[in-house]
Amino acid sequence: MKVLLTGANGFVGRHLMSSLLDAGYSVTAAVRDPGGFRRQWPSIDVMDCDFMIDQHAAVWRARLAGFDVVVNCAGVLQRSPGVDPEAIHHLGPAALFDACRDLKLRKVIQISAISAREGVETEYAQTKCRGDAHLMALDLDWVILKPSLLYAKGSYGGTSLIRALSALPLAIPLPGSGDQAFQPLHLDDLGRSLVKLLEDPAAGKQVLEPAGPETLSLKDILLQYRRWLGIRGGLCIPVPLWLVRAVCRMGDLLGIGALRTTSLEQILEGNCGDNQGFEEAIGFRPRSLAEALQNDPSDVQDRWHAQLYFFAVLATFALSATWILSGVIGLWVLPDVGEQVAGRIGLTGAAALAAALGACLMDILVGAWVALRRAPGLCALVQVTIILGYTLVLGIAIPELWGDPFGSLIKNLPMLALIPIWAVLAKSK
């Protein structure tokens, strides 16, 4: 069968694509950035699609010719500039599903979420619900999968946050008591399930809740990951939920990975499903978390990622604050120190004042750019260029700065080391 897989460049989509290809299916990936996808997977067919725009069935009917199956994996945790969960979870998929009905495709499989149910008030859950409801109302051979916590050898979003929490050096903070329940499912088992459902002609018009064979608390999961990473200790410290919510609100404002209000609410709403019904439908027992971790031991890359996860936030704050404070302090002392420094490099009068003012404003703008984390590679290049320029000009014009006991120029060396590390971390997801 020929399969169209939407959201194929996401964490779940990439693993399901691999499972489909291993099973011999012809897969076309429907993604928002086909150029970036081709760079990573040049041998896989790719289609340009964007649920923010493609919200009419006629658009999809033209694209679906020749396909037998559609698997929709597209999803976003929460709203952000240029990203609307209503479009990505409901309006865009609804148009795609209508086109599938019009063309009488063999099967449509929707990857939803365990929290997509009435009573869960997050925008993520409610928009997923509307997309699911639209599909269920159509005369199609459809299957909706609502998985619990999905994990793999790699990580993304919530699983990255779990690993990072488990790897903290002194103790593991728990939201509340840490007794929130999960049924973790390995993505390879979800992929194997997907293939079995595609091969079963009787598997239609049903909602399944893919879940692992055991129920674990968040505390249990964190401790298992800590042991898997090979990190000593395991002291857990309960953190009041009001404080966790405050930190997550800060994460909303700063855009800090999975440390968001939506993530917390998804955890608190419950993540357990009907694993027995799921196992009956797929005909096998998924692996437990302990079995999967034992069969796929951690490597140094796993420990690096877990231990550097929060460092990415710290590095962003440190660099941004350094640039902004440098500019603000420079403006404060501009009439005296700024013009004196400019004079030492051969500028006087209005030119000296303009150069000092320009340098201060440039520092502030660079600090804001770092905080936004837009185009981090280019931002890092600009930072390195400016620091090298400052060091070269001031080091030649005012050589005594090299002997400054406060390290006026020497401090540029760790900055030059930190900036490329920050750029790598800022680009990681």
The neighbouring-strand residues paired with 5 are: 29, 71
Q: Which residue has the tokens 């996860």?
A: 309
DSSP characters over 66-98: T--EEEE----SS-BTTB-HHIIIIIHHHHHHH
Find all residues with CB under 8 Å of 374, minimum gap 6, and list them: none
Q: Which phi and psi (to 5°) does residue 26 adopt?
A: -90, 115
Q: Report the C-alpha gap between 71 and 237 in whole angstroms.
A: 41
Phi, psi (deg, nearest 5) at residue 258: -90, 5
Distances (CA, A) of 86 to 67, 77, 80, 125, 157: 26, 11, 12, 10, 20
Q: What's the confidence (pLDDT) of residue 357?
A: 85
> How many residues in the chain?
429
Least confident span in 81-85, 275-279, 330-334: 330-334
Share of the chain above pLDDT 70, in %: 96
User: Which among 261, 215, 222, 211 is positioned nearest to 241, based on CA atoms?
Assistant: 261
| pLDDT tops 90 at residue 180 | yes
244 pLDDT band, cuts 50/70/90, is: very high
pLDDT of residue 242: 94
For residue 242, CA distances in Å to 23, 176, 207, 236, 252 come to 47, 9, 35, 18, 15
Tally of CB atoms within 10 A around 259: 23
* Measured distance CA(428)–CA(426) in Å, rounded: 6
Q: Residue for token digits 């619990």?
A: 148
Percent of all residues in the chain with a pLDDT value above 90, rounded to a whole number: 72
What tens digit of pLDDT does each residue of 280-298 get?
A: 999 999 999 999 999 999 9
Give pLDDT, residue 250: 86
